[in-house]
Amino acid sequence: MKTFEFAHAATVEEAISSVVSSGGKYYAGGTNLLDLMKGGVEAPPALVDLRRLGLTNIVATDAGGVLIESGVSNSAIANHPLIRTGYPVLSQAILSGATTQLRNMATAGGNLLQRTRCPYFMDTAFARCNKRVPGSGCAATDGFNREHALFGASDTCVAIHPSDMAVALAILNASVLVQGPDGARTVPIAEFFRLPGDEPERDNTLHPHELIVGIELPPSPYAEHSWYLKVRDRHSYAFALVSVAAGLHIVEGAIRAAAIGMGGVAAMPRRVAEAEDSLLGQQAGEAAFRRAARLAMAGARPLSQNGFKVDLGMHSVVRALTMASR
Ligand code: SF4
């Protein structure tokens, strides 16, 4: 690991100006960033510690939703009464990720900013990775790609985003609150992540030096009927091959609102509007769920090793909707 400066910030403004002047990176839980630094994938000249900013609260908003400040640990989010009762799918998604120890350290902001676990990105022994070394090529396109994307990939990158929390946030229509050198702004979660296109090194739409300060959730119609299903190679401490966050609002057996988000299939959480729309007005049941699942996976473009994820995705959508409807 290369040497680096380490600075503590007492305010958001101080953190931003410290990162601007040092060219460094923000540091909170460090559960992904430090791994990348140890492996030589990241080598910032400085880390600016955010842990004294006090962004560790979860509060009800005047709009009837919830504000999660960016420094709240993943464990604290998952176990908070406002989240467990109003947004159980978020709690479930977070608890499906990593391990207890990691969830105790990892923060809300860091969860959104974690990088892909594509093995060619994570290991500098591999020469080709456009996300790590722009212009070097993509070793996954003709290499190991069983865990990679089915949707939205480009010739330059076929990686997926690893977050479970982000998939739940996608169906909850969360907003990401950011602050940067040019002031504060709010980014809808649907506009926060980006597909690789010609710039796979950019995972999201943050401007340079912007800091995530919070995540706002509007009131959810899915508190009674939701489910997060994560399918992975082993039961714990593994990233999703496919995951599905499903939310249903059911009145007298009929579906009045529906949201389906998928993880493990693209470089960002994938909402499937056509599949969601197909459920509206339908009786909650297998026929409607199978139709939605087919629509959710339509247009998938498997790579050489991940064709199995198309069927897996379809079954996962049916299963998640079934569990949500109970
Ligand atoms: Fe790198 Fe993306 Fe290709 Fe993986 S899929 S090797 S992250 S460019």
Question: CA–CA separation, 292 vs 276, rounded Å?
Answer: 7
In single-letter form, the type of residue at position 25 comes to K
CA of 237 to the centre of ligand 1 (A): 22
Whether 288 is in the pocket of ligand 1, judged by its Cβ within 6 Å, is: no
Atom of ligand 1 nearest to the CA of 128: 6
Q: In this predicted model, what pLDDT tens digit does every residue of 198-224 receive, in sequence order?
A: 999 999 999 999 999 999 999 999 999
Same fold, 1-49 and 226-325: no
Distance in Å, CA 112 to ligand 1 centroid: 19
CATH 3.40.605.10, domain 1-49, yes or no: no
Is 93:240 a contact under the CB 8 Å cutoff?
A: no
Per residue in 131-182, pLDDT (tens digit) is 999 999 999 999 999 999 999 999 999 999 999 999 999 999 999 999 999 9
Question: Residue 69: what pLDDT?
Answer: 98
**How far is the C-alpha of 218 from the C-alpha of 174, rounded, in Å?**
7
Do 326 and 255 contact (CB within 8 A), yes or no? Answer: no
The per-residue b/e assignment along 68-99, b for 16 or more CB within 10 angstroms, e otherwise, is bbbbbbbbbbbebebbeebbbbbbbbbbbbbe
Instruction: Report pLDDT digits (tens) over 21-54.
Output: 999 999 999 999 999 999 999 999 999 999 999 9
Q: Is the CB of 131 under 6 A from ligand 1?
A: yes
Q: Is the CB of 116 under 6 A from ligand 1?
A: yes
pLDDT digits (tens, 9 = 90+) for 81-99: 999 999 999 999 999 999 9
High-pLDDT (> 70) share of the chain, %:
100
Q: Is the dihedral of CA 120, 26, 269, 184 positive or negative?
A: negative
Output the CATH code of domain 226-325. 3.30.390.50
Q: Which residues contact 70 (CB under 8 A, 6 or more apart)?
A: 28, 50, 55, 107, 108, 109, 177, 211, 212, 213, 214, 215
pTM of the model: 0.98
The order of strands in the sheet holding 58-60 is 58-60, 66-69, 211-217, 175-180, 183-188
Residue spans per domain, the chain: 1-49, 226-325
Residue 138 CB less than 6 A away from ligand 1: yes
The pLDDT of residue 95 is 98
CA of 209 to the centre of ligand 1 (A): 24
Among residues 41, 3, 44, the alpha carbon closest in space to that of 27 is found at 44
Q: How many CA atoms lie within 13 A of 58 on its CB side?
A: 19
Helices 286-297 and 308-325 sit at what angle, rounded to 10 degrees?
140
Q: Which atom of ligand 1 is nearest to the CA of 156?
A: 8
Q: 26, 28, 33: which is closest to 72 by C-alpha?
A: 28
Pick the atom of ligand 1 nearest to 119's CA. Answer: 4
270-271 and 254-263 as β-strands: parallel, antiparallel, unpaired?
Answer: antiparallel
Ligand 1 geometric centre to CA of 166 (Å): 20
The rounded Å distance from CA 58 to ligand 1 centre is: 35
Is residue 266 in contact with ligand 1, taking CB distance under 6 Å? Answer: no
Q: What's the pLDDT band for 1 if we cut at 50, 70, 90?
A: confident
Average pLDDT, the chain: 98
